[in-house]
Structure formats: C-alpha cells, structure tokens
Amino acid sequence: MSTRERTWWIVAGIGIILYALFPIAWIVSLSFKSASDISNGQFLPTVFTWENYALILTGDASELFLPALLNSFGICLIATALSCLLAMFAAYAIARLDFPGKRIILSTALAVAIFPVISIVTPLFNLWRQIGLYDTWPGLIIPYLSLTLPISIWTMSAFFREIPWEMEQAAQVDGATTWQAFRKVIVPLAAPGVFTTAIIAFFLAWNDFVYGISLTSTSAARPVPAALGLFSGASQFEDPTGGIAAAAVVVTIPVIVLVLFFQRRIVAGLTNGAVKG
Amino acid sequence: MTTTVPPGVGSSVEQPAARPTGLSDRIRAERRLGWMLAGPAFAVMLLVTAYPIFQAVYDSLFSYRLTDPGNRSFVGLHNYWVVLTDALWWQAFGVTAFITIVTVAVELVLGFALALVMLKALKGLRPILRAAILLPYAIITVVSAFAWQFAFDLTSGFVNSWFAWLPGISADTDWFGQTGTSLLVICLAEIWKTTPFISLLLLAGLAQVPDVLQEAAQVDGATWWQRMRKVTIPNMKAAIMVALLFRTLDAFRVFDSVFIMTAGANGTETVSFLAYRQTIARLEIGLGSAVSVLLFLSVVLIAFGFIKGFKVDLSQARGEK
C-alpha cells in the first residue's frame, strides 16, 4: 500500500470514529454544563460541574431516576436470562436433532422480529390492566421476550451449528458418560455463543421504549428510557436538559463497557446468522 | 473481520453429516425430543405476538373506549373506515414512508462506505473502528434522540452558532418549529443510530466476495468502479437485500425519536405514534387497535414485497431488530 493510500485510509478511519463518537461526546459535554452554561451555544462547558449528576443520583430527581435504573437492570437481566434459556433448548434441538418443523420455528422467530411492537402494545395495555400485570415487572418481562427471544434463537442456532457434535460421541467412545461428554465437550464449546447472544439480547431489552412508556405508570416498573422520555425536571420551572444529559450518560455506561470488552464477539454474533443462516 | 465464513456454507435445515439411520421409533423419539426442547420457545413466541395481534383484530371491530367501557358495541369494520378516511392517518403514513425511504437510502450508501473503509482499514485501526461503530448501534434510541434534539435546540444547542455561516441558518433558527426541519433532524438521528447495523451486515457480505474474482477482474483491466459494479455488488446481493429488508421494516416502525423530539407536533406524527396516541393517551381501544392492525398489515406487505420482488433468501436472514 502506498503512503498516499495509507494516509487516505487513516483519514477515513478517523472520520468513522468522529461520526460514531461525536453525538456521544456532545451529550457527555452537556451533562457537565452548569445551568447557566446550558444555553451558551457552545459544544463545551465553560465551567465543569458535577451538579447534574448530583441532581439525578442524590438530588431531587434521584427518586425518579434510581428506581428506574433498578427496574431497567432487573427487568432486562431477567428477560435476557429467560430468553437465553428458552433459546438454548430450541437452538440445541435445531442444530442437533432431526425433526420436522425446524424451518417453521426459524421463520416464526423471523416474523416475530419484524413485528411492529406497537401492534402488540395496544391489546396488552388493555389485558394487563384487567389481569393486574400493568405496571409490574412481569408485565414488562413477558413482552420483552418478543424482542429478545427471536434474536436469541437465530444467533444461538447459528453458533450451535458450528459445534462439531461428533466430538460428543468421540468422548463417549473414550469412556465418558453421556452427561460427562456433554458437560466436558459441548458446554465449553457452546458457552461463547450463549454469552454473545445474551449481550445482544440485553442491548435490545435495554433499548426498549414503547413497552416501557405504555405498560407502566409509576416508578414500580418504569424502565430508564421511559423515565427519561417522561422526565419533566425536578420542578416545572427548571429546565431538565442537564439532568437528562447526565441520566443519558449513566445509562450509556453499561453499553460502552459491554462494547469495549466484547466487541469482537458482538460483531460475530450480529453478522453470524446473517451470512450463515 | 471475525466472520471467517467460506461462501455458501450452511442452510437453515442442513443436517449433521453423521446421522444415525436407525429404527423408526428412534426417529420418532428424536422428533419428540426436538419439539419438547424447541416447543417452549415456539409457544412463548406465539403467545407474545400471535395472541396480541388476534386480540387487536378483535378489539378493532368494536367501538370501545376505556373512559366509557359501558358503551362497548360491535361496529364491524367501521373503525377501519374511520381511520382510512381520516387525513390524519394518511399524513402519518406519508411521514412514516418519507422517513423510511430517506433514512434507508442514505444508510445504504453511508453504510457501504463505512464497510469499505473498515474492510480496507489497517490492522491496528480495525478493532478501534469496530468498537466505535458498535456504539451507536448499542446506545439507547432515546439517548440518541435527546443528543440530537439538544444539539439543534434553540436554547441548549450549538448547531445554530456553529453553522451560522450557512445561508438560512441563524442564531434563532427553530429546527423544531416546522415539519421539514423537524423531519430532517429526526432522520439524522435515525441515520446515525442505525447505519452501523447496515454497515456491519454489508461488511460481512463484502468479506464473502471471493478475492479470486476481484483479482481476475483487475488483471483484465477493470477499473475500481467497474469491479465494484460487476463483481463486488452482484456477489453480495443477498447481504444487501437482508440489510435493506430489516432496516426498512425497522424504519417503518419509527417511534422513539419522534416521541422525544417533537411528540408528533408540526405534522411529524408517524403511524406508530398515531397508534400509541389513540390507545395509550386517548384510551380509544377500538380505533387504536384498528391503527395497530393497519400498521401490522403494512409491515407484512413490505416484507412480502421484498421477499417476492427482490427474491430475498430468508434462510440467509436472521432475526435482528
């Protein structure tokens, strides 16, 4: 590669990094602006302040934000765990066993994935009110499965299909019991796929907004995105911009941590199913 | 790239090579086990989608509002008639179609450019690019919507002061004051957020184009542009179609950004937002259900059109949002 070409690709690469990070840098910068700086018309704060974080973590807005953060973590982790468990069995069956209906299961997963969430919310809103699931954790965990389960099934079965299942039999020939062969050979091979799937499913649940604002009414179950969307400031006379920016940064931290540690896996998981089917 | 897929590997129902060709009750036992393991996931998927949509179809046939539940009465297809003859529905439909077409078209071009850069990027730069490109994908849409809204906002924004040298932009340009500029900002936020998804799929597709073909074309004297048009793009048609299909369906459901930035003001209401407003805000279960069913039908039609019109091979696709 010539020096000129090399420079060109580096410039293009820096362009991508700027493209991806600029809006994030902006919301971080905004979260450190004091109330008087919010309207300074500049990208950066003139004085650096923690007051917005204090507002949402210990101040007046903490009773809105902290329960929502707890709800988001709890509901998303449970929904992710449930869908991974269900998807694990299904993906094992799809990759390993021969039974009619595999294609039906995969097509159903695809159909569920393209389903407009709002079409599910309308009837659920009414039903949940009648059976008492409105504004509860299970009332969000169940619909979240419609977001997390399809992708879990597709991603995991793509991973599972690559496991050399013959190794299980080879281990049995060498004297391992069925369970030992499964535990010692298959489980370690399957674990990375399950883990990757869990991260992607968690992202999807963490990102939900429609279910969050439609199926909750109090801090009993309202997740962070919905709380942010309905955040009107500590008092009606105060502009909530700084507080929202700080809250946005806090909920973005888990995402950034996962991306930085597991980027290679996430990309493999996202594209695996797409190119391998 | 981490995907080291040889081209053409795997189809969704491919069977493992070493299959015991045993007795028929052994096959039956395997089938039973298969459904026992996959059945719960299948049942849950039906429960959380098929059931609600049937309920929505049923509810849409009634005049039913939660503020007045006593007067619930069967009205047949009247709700659909009301919705489809209302200018509000057609405006929401037009706005949704506009956002979908603009964002998907820009994202396809931009995503392809990003994928090309990532493919060619120097080894040391690649992990950094990959991490950077994943961030918009993984960030909450609501957060992205706020970031873009605050950037263009009259009081908190920096865009007006940064771009004051451009004709038409001044310190008091109110981006969220009119339909056109509001939609522009909504589209920008959507494009930023979802281009990474397209570019990752296209990158996986690019990695699958055999190098041999590229080299052969180069030896034959094809220019970069000719190779792109005659070799690269035809060879990654499946990846392009899958990316297009998923993004189109996803864009058609746009809701979060609209809710945050304009709350449907200034004629920026989308179909999803209309359904939300009818049901959750106005408690008009009957009318809202009719809108939901129409939205569902639109999505099914788009998917069907893609699969038939472009012959997308769905065994190559996957359940990405």
The ipTM (two decimal places) reads: 0.89
Amino acid at A134: Y
Q: What is the pLDDT of residues B13-54, one digit of tens each?
A: 444 444 555 568 888 888 888 888 888 999 999 988 888 888
* pLDDT of the residue at A119: 86
* pLDDT of the residue at A25: 93
Neighbours of B318 (CB within 10 A): 30
- Of residues A230 and B311, the one with the higher pLDDT is A230
Rounded mean pLDDT of B132-139?
A: 90
Highest-confidence range of A149-163, B156-170, B201-215, B227-241, by mean pLDDT?
A: A149-163
d(CA A205, CA A79) in angstroms, rounded, equals 8
Q: How many CB pairs under 8 A join A and B?
A: 366
- B45, B53, B252 ranked by CB distance to A109: nearest: B45
- A105, A213, A275 ranked by CB distance to B239: nearest: A275
Residue A6, Cβ density class (10 Å: 0-12 exposed, 13-18 middle, ≥19 buried) = exposed
| B254 and B270 Cβ atoms separated by less than 8 Å | yes
d(CA B73, CA B67) in angstroms, rounded, equals 14
* pLDDT of the residue at B19: 52
d(CA A80, CA A191) in angstroms, rounded, equals 15
Cβ distance A9 to B253 less than 8 Å, yes or no, reads no
d(CA B62, CA A154) in angstroms, rounded, equals 37
Cβ distance B38 to A90 less than 8 Å, yes or no, reads yes
* pLDDT of the residue at A12: 87
* pLDDT of the residue at B23: 62
| B246 and B317 Cβ atoms separated by less than 8 Å | yes
Q: Reply yes or no on whether the pLDDT at B3 is more than 50.
A: no
| A157 and A90 Cβ atoms separated by less than 8 Å | yes
pLDDT class of B8 with cuts at 50, 70, 90: very low
* pLDDT of the residue at A84: 94
- A9, A19, A229 ranked by CB distance to B260: nearest: A229
Shortest alpha-carbon distance between residue B93 and chain A (Å): 14
Judged by a CB distance cut-off of 8 A, whether residue B281 touches chain A is: no
**Secondary structure (DSSP) of A134-158:** TTSHHHHHHHHHHHHHHHHHHHHHH
* pLDDT of the residue at B76: 78
Cβ distance A115 to B16 less than 8 Å, yes or no, reads no
Shortest alpha-carbon distance between residue A86 and chain B (Å): 5
**What are the backbone dihedrals phi and psi of residue A216, each rounded to the nearest 5 degrees, phi first?**
-130, 160
- Of residues A25 and B309, the one with the higher pLDDT is A25
d(CA B245, CA A202) in angstroms, rounded, equals 23
Pairing of strands B62-63, B73-74: antiparallel
* pLDDT of the residue at B206: 86
Which residue of chain A has the CA closest to B236?
A275
Give bridge partners of residue B63 from the DSSP assignment.
Answer: B73
**What percentage of chain B reaches a pLDDT higher than 90?**
20
- Positions of chain A with pLDDT lower than 70, given as ranges: 1, 232-239, 272-277
> Which H or E run includes B204?
helix B179-208
* pLDDT of the residue at B321: 30
| A63 and A132 Cβ atoms separated by less than 8 Å | no
Rounded to the nearest integer, the mean pLDDT of chain B is 82
Judged by a CB distance cut-off of 8 A, whether residue A102 touches chain B is: yes
| A77 and A191 Cβ atoms separated by less than 8 Å | no
- Of residues B8 and B247, the one with the higher pLDDT is B247
pLDDT class of B284 with cuts at 50, 70, 90: confident
pTM as predicted: 0.87
> Which H or E run includes B188?
helix B179-208
* pLDDT of the residue at B268: 85
Cβ distance A16 to B129 less than 8 Å, yes or no, reads yes
- Which A residues in the span 12-71 are in contact with B, Cβ-Cβ below 8 Å? 12-13, 15-17, 19-21, 23-24, 26-27, 30, 38-39, 41-43
> Which H or E run includes A78?
helix A62-96
Shortest alpha-carbon distance between residue B77 and chain A (Å): 18
Would you say domain A61-232 falls under CATH 3.40.50.720?
Answer: no
| B277 and B264 Cβ atoms separated by less than 8 Å | yes
Q: Which residues contact B145 (CB under 8 A, 6 or more apart)?
A: B189, B256, B257, B259, B260, B261
Identify all chain A residues contacting B3, using CB atoms and an 8 Å cutoff.
267-268, 271-272, 275
Q: Reply yes or no on whether the pLDDT at B319 is more than 50.
A: no
In angstroms, the Cα distances linking A276 to A107, A192, B205 are 15, 17, 10
- What does the domain layout of chain A look like in residue ranges? 61-232
- Which B residues in the span 220-239 are in contact with A, Cβ-Cβ below 8 Å? 239
C-alpha A119: how far from chain center: 21
Sign of the CA dihedral running B201, B131, A114, A116: negative
Cβ distance A120 to B246 less than 8 Å, yes or no, reads no
Exposure pattern of A120-148 as b/e (b: 16+ CB <10 Å)? bbbbbbbbbeeeebbbbbebbbbbbbbbb
Cβ distance B59 to A123 less than 8 Å, yes or no, reads yes
d(CA B72, CA B171) in angstroms, rounded, equals 52
| A190 and A183 Cβ atoms separated by less than 8 Å | no
* pLDDT of the residue at B235: 81
Q: Is A233 left (phi over 0), alpha (psi -120 to 50) or beta?
A: left
Rounded mean pLDDT of B71-81?
A: 81
